[in-house]
Structures are given as structure tokens and as C-alpha cells.
Amino acid sequence: MTDKPDTISGTGRITTVRRDSLTFDVYDDGPADGEVVVLLHGFPERASSWRLVAPQLHDAGYRTLAIDQRGYSRGARPKRRRDYRIEELVADVMALVDVAVGPEGRVHVVGHDWGAVVAWGVAQQHPDRVATLTAVSVPHPMSFVTAMARSGQVLKSWYMLAFQVPKIPELVVGRLGKASDRQLAASGMTREDLDRVQREIVDDGALPGALGWYRALPLNKPRDMRVKVSVPTTLVWSDGDIAVGRWSAENNHRWVEGPYRLVELKGVSHWIPTQAPDELAEAILDRLGSASTRP
């Protein structure tokens, strides 16, 4: 059950959203009367990962709601693995949507990395509440899973298995900063982004909750992944992504029934929102313009 939220600041902006006993931090910016775009961050980042993209959406007249998700917000860090199942992550987003536009309103949804997984889930489970979907880096769950068997994706995803081990990943990232820095740097992260991960994730105590998303993977319902998406959708993928291979990106259309576009960025790493914000904003705006949240 969702608590009645007390989330609106004196300026009329949403600053926090409550769901059950959890409180999520929200960053509400852009024209107050603009169509709402919900921005969902990935691992190991927070809402600040959208800092270069969001202003471009504001300039185009859109209002953005960037949320620090479950495990990341200081007031929303449950301990159990089961608390990080996709159904819970999707319900968190829907609590924000209800506050922003009411129980019948629609929003645009944009997600990167794990945020894209949640965005796919929102579109699968609540298509009537989603005007458009823009997934960044990560394709439809079934495209990703199928790629494990039909391509080299399983080799790229070795870390998902490693993260299942209790406590060791926290020790490696928390105490051996240089080692984890090398792994993230190899994925394309810049020094600025590495410092942000250290400050916002490790130092702030968000790492155990962030890893909880991976540890809950065996607890998710396989049938939920198989639902095709019917809303207008764009997948933005980069050919320098070492975490997500080409097969799943190029075959993603098989799981989308609505209008669909694949945007491939050349020479860009996995960290598209901070490394190619202009190109990403252009792709998002193109998708946003294809449908309105208004009657």
C-alpha cells in the first residue's frame, strides 16, 4: 500500500515521494506546466547522471523528474534481496507518476542502464500510463536474455554472477578503490564520473542497495519479462558499450509492437548520458515529439 505522500515544496515542486516506509529523493526541474519526463538512472549512478541531458529537455519545454531510486536514496535502502525485485522498482516509479500527474495521467519515461530495465518494466506493466519510452544502452529484457544464448553477451555479463556473492563486491569496491576504478575506467568512465561514483555511491553508503538490484535477479518473474512493449519506443545504444553487445540491440525490435527506432551512437562508451548528452537529448526529444501526454 502506498502512503499518502507529503512531497510538494513551497515552490510546488516534488522533492520526495513516499512509498510504504521508504522515502525517495526527487529532482523536479524545467517548466512546471511542461509534459513530464521521468528520468531513471543506472548502476552505479544516481539522478545526477542526467545533469547534462535534463537542461536540454527543459529548453524544449519539458519538465523532468529525476529520482534517486531504491537502494540509492538515503531513505529507501531496504536490506532484503526480495525488496529489489523489478516489480518493486516499477511500483516505486509509479508512485512518483501518480504524484506528478494523478492516477490516470501519462508521462514519458527515459532510463539508462538498470534504469532502462525499470523503464521497460513500467512500459510493459503500465502501457496506459506511458506516452513514450526511451531506453538507453539496455534493450528489452527478452532481447538481452536471448542474446546470452545467441551471441557473446554472456561473456560481457560475467559481473552479474560475481555480484551475487555476499559482501565481497562491497569490500572490493569500498576498500580497493583502485581496482574498481580500473574496471569502471575500462568500461569508459571518465575521472570525473569515477569521483562521482566514489562520492555518491561508496562514501554515501548506497553500494549495498545498488548491488541489491543484481542480487534480486533470481527472484524476478520470468513471465513478466516476456511482455512485448506497445508504446512508441526508442533504444539508444553505443557501439563502444562493453556491457551490452550488438546482437541484443539489433534484434530488440522483435519485442516492441509500437513505433520503434534504434539510434546507434558511434565511438561512445556505455555511459551515454554523461559522454554524449547532446546526441542523447536529440534522440529523446525526437521520441518525445512523437506522442503527447495530454488528451
pLDDT of residue 224: 85
Q: Which of 257, 255, 263 is nearest to 282 (CA)?
A: 263
pLDDT of residue 168: 60
CA distances from 164 to 81, 216, 224, 259, 272 (A): 10, 9, 22, 36, 26
CATH H-level superfamily of 16-288? Alpha/Beta hydrolase fold, catalytic domain (3.40.50.1820)
User: How many Cβ atoms from other residues are within 10 Å of residue 234's Cβ?
Assistant: 22
What's the half-sphere exposure (Cβ side, CA atoms, 13 Å) at 23? 8
CA 207 to chain centre: 16
pLDDT of residue 167: 66
Grid coordinates given for 210: 545498488
pLDDT averaged per 10 residues, the chain (length 295): 52 93 98 97 96 98 98 97 96 98 97 98 98 98 90 72 64 57 81 90 92 91 91 97 94 97 97 97 98 91
Query: What are the sequence ranges of the domains in the chain?
Result: 16-288
> What is the Cα–Cα distance from 129 to 185, expressed in whole angstroms?
37
In this structure, what are the phi and psi dihedrals at residue 248, rounded to the nearest 5 degrees?
A: -65, -30
Evaluate the omega torsion of the peptide bond into residue 44 and state whether it is cis, within 30 degrees of 0: yes
* E strand or H helix that includes residue 18: strand 16-19
User: How would you classify the pairing of strands 16-19 and 22-29?
Assistant: antiparallel
**pTM of the entire predicted model:** 0.92
Grid coordinates given for 128: 496506459
pLDDT of residue 2: 42
pLDDT of residue 47: 98
- Map grid coordinates 512523437 to a residue: 290
Compute the CA torsion angle 139, 144, 147, 152 (nearest 10 deg): 90
